[in-house]
Structure 1
Amino acid sequence: MRTLTVEGADLAYGDGVPVLTGVTVTARPGELLAVTGTSGAGKTTLLSAMAGLLPPAAGRVLVDGDPLLDRDQGVKLGVVLIPQDNGLAAILTAEENIAVAMIATGGTPAEARRGTSTSLEKLGLSGQAGQLIEELSGGQQQRTAIARGLALHGDVLLADEVTSELDAANRQRVIDLLRAEADRGAAVVFATHDPEAAAACDHELHLADGTAILVR
């Protein structure tokens, strides 16, 4: 399993003013790290950098001590991102979205079938496997995106506000599944504005006023 480190990073879009400055934090195998802060504090920005989508304007993002240069490298290193907007293809079914992602990252069709079935079952979505994404509710779409992320069995799992559309029971189900990923040995980073969800994590990085403070 891999360790992901952000080291003295300034994060900005283009030539704009940095959203975050001097961020230093480590996501370690077997641990669940909460990233908290108000809307606009930079949670998505930080996870984008951790995923290799946003190169730091200063500082570095490292995976096992080596610089993370882009998203393609992140995928090869097993850095899985569950984005806030779910990133699902609306014209595909729930099971097709998951199977395509598994095959694209090296899984066989047989592995994709098994992994898809298992991950949908974990999220209580077996009955929606054959439905188009556009036919699903917002909460079901969010759970499908989570199921896809879990099916990829990443060494690092980045989950961006993945419980925002969920009721209390499904929110707890997802938190338990993220904990299970950490117990499996993955380094899990969970961006959330929910204090109860953050409290269930091992550590918390709080973002405010362009800075990041490890509060526990």
Structure 2
Amino acid sequence: MKTLTVDSVTVAYERDHPVLRDVSVIVSPGQILAVTGPSGAGKTTLLWAMAGLLKPAAGTVAVDSTPLRDRDHAVAEKVVLIPQDNGLAAILTAQENIQVAMIAGGSAPADARRATVSSLERLGLAGQADQLVEELSGGQQQRTAIARGLALHGAVVLADEVTSELDSTNRQKVMELLQEEARRGAAVVFATHDPEAAAACDRELHLSDGIAQLVR
């Protein structure tokens, strides 16, 4: 599996107004890093930089010492992003959203179907497989996005506030699934407001006003 390295990364949406300043952290295979901090601290910005969606103004994000050029390069390096807004196509069913992503990633259709069934079952969504995303509740949509992300079997898995819409039972289930991803050998990064979820991770990077501090 692969190591994710963030080396002295600064990200700015506007010149001279950095959102992140000189952030460095290494996430090894089998580890879960919690990224914590108040709203506006830069958690999503950091995950987007890790995913190749944002180019740092300074510093590098690398997978196994190879600096990421853009999102396409990150996808090729098996960097999976589960976004906070779920990123699902509302006019497709839950299972279609997963299968389309898997086939686009190179899976054979039959393999994509099998993995989709398994992933939806793991998230308690077997009964919603044929429902349109727009017909699902907010929590069901979030779990579908998680199911899609897990089905892709990333070497690096980035999860952005993926438990925010879930009840306590499903939050616990998602944490167990992220821990399974780490045991599989993935490097997992989990942005969260939840202190209990953060405590269940191996390490914690706390952001405040764009400055990062490793808490543990």
TM-score, normalized by length of structure 2? 0.99
> How far does the alpha carbon of each residue in 1:111-131 deviate from its partner, in whole angstroms, 9 at most, with x for none?
110010000000000000000
Q: Deviation of residue 15 (structure 1)? A: 3.0
Structure 2 residue 111 is the aligned partner of structure 1 residue 111:
yes
Unpaired runs of at least 5, structure 1: none
Are 1:87 and 2:50 counterparts?
no
Matched, 1:158 2:184: no
- Who is 1:29 aligned against? 29
1:176 partnered with 2:176: yes
Query: What is the CA-CA distance between 1:13 and the residue it aligns to?
Result: 1.6
Percent identity for Structure 1 against Structure 2: 73
Q: Size of the alignment, in residue pairs? A: 216
Matched, 1:143 2:143: yes
- The answer to whether the 8 Å contact 2:42/2:209 transfers is no
Kindly state the Cα deviation for residue 14 of structure 1 after the two structures are TM-superposed.
4.6
CA distance in structure 2 between the aligned counterparts of 1:169 and 1:13, rounded to whole angstroms:
37
SS in 1 for 2:74: helix
User: Superposed, which structure 2 residues align to 1:180-195 within 5 Å?
Assistant: 180-195=180-195
Following superposition, the deviation at residue 185 of structure 1 comes to: 0.2
Q: Which runs of 4+ in 1 moved over 2 A?
A: none
In the TM superposition, what is the alpha-carbon distance from 1:100 to its structure 2 partner?
0.2
User: What is the SS of the residue equivalent to 2:98?
Assistant: helix
Corresponding residue for residue 167 of structure 1: 167
Give the Cα–Cα distance (whole angstroms) in 2 for the partners of residues 16 and 190 of structure 1: 28
Structure 1 residues 14 and 76, CA gap change in structure 2 (3 angstroms): farther
What is the rounded CA distance, in whole Å, between the counterparts of 2:115 and 2:61 in structure 1? 30
Query: 1-side partners of 2:90 and 2:191: how far apart?
Result: 24
* Residue of structure 2 equivalent to 1:123: 123
CA displacement 1:117-168 (0-9 Å, x = unmatched): 0000000000000000000000000000000000000000000000000000
Measured after TM superposition, the shift of residue 196 of structure 1 is: 0.2
